[in-house]
A and B are shown apart, each in its own frame.
Chain A
Amino acid sequence: DVKVTQSSRYLVKRTGEKVFLECVQDMDHENMFWYRQDPGLGLRLIYFSYDVKMKEKGDIPEGYSVSREKKERFSLILESASTNQTSMYLCASSIQGTPAVTQYFGPGTRLLVL
């Protein structure tokens, strides 16, 4: 079974702190994604990566950065956390291929910024 794990299920941080969210997949997938999930808005793509050290901005990259130094690990960084970044963050991975490939999701990290 494909497994996508995220470093924390719940996280509480203070405004201005630097926050690291880690995601690891064990299926040698090329593509990895970070989404945030907010009620009424569905999932919105923050960043994605299709190879080691490669990244592309998604729909809402402002205030975030990412790092992919190893194929299995994709990190989301909040450089200076703000209260409007309180949200559920979901990581996903997939192989490269046709548009029909499945994305596999981690359990999510619920981040509260005070």
Chain B
Amino acid sequence: GNSVTQMEGPVTLSEEAFLTINCTYTATGYPSLFWYVQYPGEGLQLLLKATKADDKGSNKGFEATYRKETTSFHLEKGSVQVSDSAVYFCALRRYNQGGKLIFGQGTELSVKP
């Protein structure tokens, strides 16, 4: 079946450090891939997405590249800020799944000044 696996958190970084959150997936065909972010006390919001192999999604300094050969969609940011502290969710959607998203377990990021 379809599934998404993220690296376990919490991840604690100092401000301006480099961030990588690993995400790998299992799915047949060519799913669309997403990163959602949940700031404290809020719902989820879309951070970035990619719809086919080798696509790079980017937003707010975050990037992720759809790697079909390694079934991965790792999230990266070159220099994190305290305001990036949040929970990050990787997700996939298959074409014939009626819009349903399958989420990873979430990775909590804490950035210290």
Q: Which residues of A does B touch, CB under 8 Å? A: 4, 31, 33, 35, 40-45, 48, 50, 56, 58, 90, 92, 94, 96, 98-108
Contact = CB atoms under 8 A, between A and B. Distances in A.
Contacts of A44: 103
Could you say which interface size class chain B belongs to?
Answer: 20 to 34
B99 interface: yes
Contact of A99 (B94, B104, B106): B94
Contacts of B103: 35, 42-44
Contacts, number: 70
A93 B51 CA distance: 19
Contacts of A102: 46, 49
B43 A4 contact: yes
B49 A96 contact: no
